[in-house]
Structure 1
């Protein structure tokens, strides 16, 4: 709701200022008086002396409370004896009981109260100029809105605080159903130019892109309109990273706009394409570039946040945008590398021969430190890949896995670079490889520390398992027959399972010890993080899991052999419960496994394009 405004129109309005009465059958102490005109309106109020304040608080506080809780039965007891309170303002902000109930979303309360009110009372405004209908529109309560319109059909056109129409409150609060309902109730002539801009930009900012597209098609000039921050709609949409908003599903578009077939956010991209095509049709190319570059460059902002769909629509309609540069001489390909957006970087594979021209461009590094301002010019695309990724682009947790992913990016960019540019030095006399080592030294040290700590802990666990299983294998469950020197339960299936699982547990735990030992003895070079260390960690954790699983099976079998001659419930229950540690291990280590798999295997697919940015 608007924070500051005065009502644009006001009926004579009974106002009880600072008053909150309860069940006082006698209101004769209320003396009406007329205050001087304010903004051309005569205020109808009620004056109360200090000694008479107590009856007020016996009336209005409970009435306000009942309105908030929706307790119509209790409120009715007050209103029956004090008829004027049904349309009196019961708060300092001039809110009537109808305002309170509508704002609290109590449909039954509003329905009963409307039966007691005259038509003119439904349009009463509070101190900011808001009617009860504005509260209903803002909260998105369709049942209350319909009740109010049935009582007073002109309410959708009565402006509230800030001079806003009720539909504007609905849009600003992201109430989709209410927005479409009110849009159908208002004649298009009611919308003035400020109303159109407000509706358009508010619907974009709240994610109601389908409604934004509807009104943009109705008033095409909105494609060039700017909001209070001097942003066009495209500037706002460039930052859009939200999932498909529920408002976008409200209505089907009669003539859908064709967009990139590989994209899912259909409505958002239809809006982007429509606005972009309108700008291209109405303006010269030089003006178009200026429009999307002021007050800031929407094209590069979209590349920074990885807004693939937005860039796809703009570039497909005007492919020369690929060559646009920002103040650091970066194209969107350079920006994608700097901010680690693989789907945008893959555009390099769609432009064929032009790729060789882009990779030869010399650029400045993004956001150099103060000491490097003069030293970070004349860089290649590979130098950008050598820079440490922004913290917000860390796709995995843990320094070791982040180091692996960073190395992956460096190697992928290196594949498309001409040989002479791979060893080219920038103005700081650093090759891309030198810059990578310098930038990632801290990350590498953190990765080394994490790897060593993890390997030590896992090796300790593996050692304990190997010791326990070795001891259990010597002390055979059920003992040995003195006559034959054979285990007493040698011919039982449970004993065979015990023997196999104990042997497998010892072998796998011993293997895990050796793997984790090799991690501790590694050189921890950059290439080790790229290839050997992640694989060693995977196999080490896998063998550790196998050893734990086999140890639990061996325990269950031994327990079954020893206690199978009593109650069968106990050994069978223990056999089932041994699964709990395994499930707990999987649950607690799930995030670690996810990071390992992603950084080692899944990240390889990042650079295999699954969707094209430029489409016909």
Structure 2
């Protein structure tokens, strides 16, 4: 086969070389590289081989071809967009460092000759071989350390890439920043809680704190809308620098308190179990912003003629109803259990000469279950006002569940002591398995609490 034959494309616009790259056939790629034009030959989509490899997530092939492809192709000054496409694909696949692979260290005969003729290159080769040996040894002995190392290395390299990109931002004009998609990138970083991204861009481009997106919202405003505590706290620590950002309004005439009144994204609410606790979290955000912002913000109207308080009630109407149902169902269920415990503790062994442990455990269980019944009865008879979800309901739920759990524990102690008293005279050994079995419900509850 002649060299030119390797450049022939099939019906879908791919050469034999690009197909070998997609399938990561290193042997075929090495054989075909005798035609240097293949490294820069584009397919029908305008992608050169190394970009094709990156688009198909062929990581090792990317590392192999990156060193062989002419550097001029990747330079920003070139009309070719291969460099930008490759960078984008590498970031998506998490390839933040192009390292020397073992096959490249072994190299061909020509490259080995060059290394032997150069003392510095020889030392570099030895050093790389040593690094690979240590890396493989660590990977074989302690895989977890290797995973941690790779994750940390990938994170550090990603941050370094971010710094390089952000250094170019001050040189770009408004139109270029829009083409660059800066606002979308910042929004996505806030949405996913990428605090490192925000910290780096604020260091290299401090004016970003006052920049508004298409909705007229600043970085601080989006942190409030998306309920990102870490980014919110970081911007808040800037002190006087963030005061101007606090006074901004978006294109809908919403101030920051209006934005705090909006319902959280589902991705943030899903992290909190129970509609009542979700409502509590929403109220905490709103009250925290109310303390920080000027009092006049509470009376301002947005384009829908709503104050922040009225907007909060409107946005959280369904969540309040769900919270009310959740509290009632939870309280009713716990009341049934607590009432049963109180009834059992009051009737069992009423005519027996109980042991001191049984009497104490029985009395405590009766007191705790009765307290739980009264607490949940108070929840069921509440008015379910908006502010009740902030402190009242969570506090009552915690107290009711604690006393219910405590009554279950003391009930088990009472049960175990009663079994022991009843059987110790005739079958003392039988009481031990029963006592052990009585602890299983508590252990199961503890395991479920740890997993949730």
Partner residue in 2 for 1:448? 324
Deviation of the 1:569 alpha carbon: 4.5
The root-mean-square deviation of aligned C-alpha atoms, in Å, is: 3.7
Match of 1:424 among 292, 300, 309: 300
State the Cα distance separating 1:401 from its structure 2 match.
1.2
Q: 1:383 Cα shift?
A: 0.9
CA distance in 1, matches of 2:388, 2:438: 37
Shift of the 279–416 alpha-carbon distance from structure 1 to 2, 3 Å rule, reads: closer
Q: Residue in 1 aligned with 2:112?
A: none
- In the TM superposition, residue 391 of structure 1 has moved relative to its aligned partner by 2.0
Shift of 1:166: 6.2
Residue 134 of structure 2 is aligned to residue 269 of structure 1: no
Structure with the greater relative contact order (CA < 8 A, sep ≥ 6): 1 or 2?
1
Query: How many residues are matched?
Result: 395
Cα distance in 1 for partners of 2:156, 2:398 equals: 40
CA contact (8 A) 1:176 1:247 kept: no
The residue that corresponds to 2:281 in the other structure is 405
Conserved? CA contact 2:42–2:49, under 8 Å? no
Instruction: Please state how far the C-alpha of 1:297 moved relative to its aligned partner.
Output: 4.0
Matches within 5 A, 1:102-251: 129=16, 133-134=20-21, 137=24, 145=26, 162=43, 167-168=50-51, 170-177=53-60, 179-184=62-67, 186=68, 188=70, 193=80, 195-211=82-98, 249=150
Aligned equivalent of 2:399: 539
| Residue 308 of structure 1 pairs with residue 195 of structure 2 | yes
Greater alpha carbon shift after TM alignment, 516-525 vs 304-313: 304-313
Structure 1 unmatched ranges of 5 or more: 1-7, 12-38, 44-92, 94-125, 138-143, 213-244, 253-263, 365-376, 477-486, 595-616
Given that 2:14 and 2:43 are in contact with CA atoms closer than 8 Å, whether structure 1 keeps it comes out as: no
Residue 121 of structure 2: aligned partner: none
2:169 touches 2:177 (CA, 8 Å); kept in 1?
no
Matched, 1:344 2:234: no
Once the two structures are superposed, residues 313-350 of structure 1 have per-residue CA deviations (whole angstroms, 9 ceiling, x without a partner) of 11111111111112222111111111211222224423
The equivalent residue for 2:420 is 560
Higher helix fraction: Structure 1 or Structure 2?
2
Q: 1:387 and 2:254 equivalent?
A: no
CA distance 1:166–1:583, shift in 2 (3 Å): farther
Shift in alpha-carbon separation, 1:157–1:250, aligned structure 2, 3 A: farther
Q: Distance in 2 between matches of 1:292 and 1:557?
A: 73
Residues in 2 aligned to 1:512 and 1:156: alpha-carbon distance in whole angstroms: 80
Structure 1, residues 340-367: CA drift from partner, whole Å, max 9, x if none?
1122222442332344333322324xxx
Higher CA-based Rg: 1
Q: Is the 8 A contact 2:21 2:61 kept in 1?
A: no
Q: Give the superposition deviation at 1:148.
A: 6.0
Task: Evaluate the alpha carbon distance shift between residue 156 and residue 588 of structure 1 in structure 2; reply closer, same or farther with a 3 A threshold.
Answer: farther
Q: Deviations over 1:226-252 (max 9, x none)?
A: xxxxxxxxxxxxxxxxxxx97993997
Tell me the TM-score normalised to structure 2 length. 0.75
The whole-number CA distance in structure 1 between the counterparts of 2:8 and 2:38 is 18
The equivalent of 2:122 in structure 1 is none
Distance 1:544 1:427 in 2: 49
Q: In the TM superposition, what is the alpha-carbon distance from 1:206 to its structure 2 partner?
A: 1.0
Aligned to 2:368: 508
Cα separation, partners in 2 of 1:475 and 1:268, compared to 1, 3 Å? farther
CA distance in 2, matches of 1:517, 1:544: 13
Give, in whole Å, the separation in 1 of the partners of 2:51 and 2:358: 73
Matches within 5 A, 1:524-535: 524-535=384-395
Cα pair 1:444 1:526 within 8 Å, conserved: yes
Kindly state the Cα deviation for residue 579 of structure 1 after the two structures are TM-superposed.
1.5
TM-score, length of structure 1 as denominator length = 0.57
Cα deviation for residue 202 of structure 1 reads: 1.2
CA-CA distance at 1:473 after TM superposition: 4.4
2:34 and 2:147 map into 1 onto residues whose CA distance is 29
Distance across 2 between alignment mates of 1:248 and 1:324? 37
Residue 576, structure 1, aligned to residue 451, structure 2: no
Q: Deviation at 1:559?
A: 1.4
1:53 is aligned to none
Given that residues 360 and 380 in structure 1 are in contact (C-alpha distance below 8 angstroms), is that contact kept between their aligned partners in structure 2? Answer: yes
Go from structure 1 to structure 2 and tell me whether the alpha carbon gap of 1:249 and 1:580 turns closer, same or farther (over 3 Å shift): same
CA distance in 1, matches of 2:279, 2:402: 22
Shift of 1:443: 0.9
Q: Within 2, Cα distance between the matches of 1:560 and 1:314?
A: 68
Q: Structure 1 405/525 Cα, relative in aligned 2: closer, same or farther at 3 Å? A: same
> How far apart are residue 278 of structure 1 and its match?
3.5
CA gap of 1:473–1:322, structure 2 versus 1, over 3 A, is same
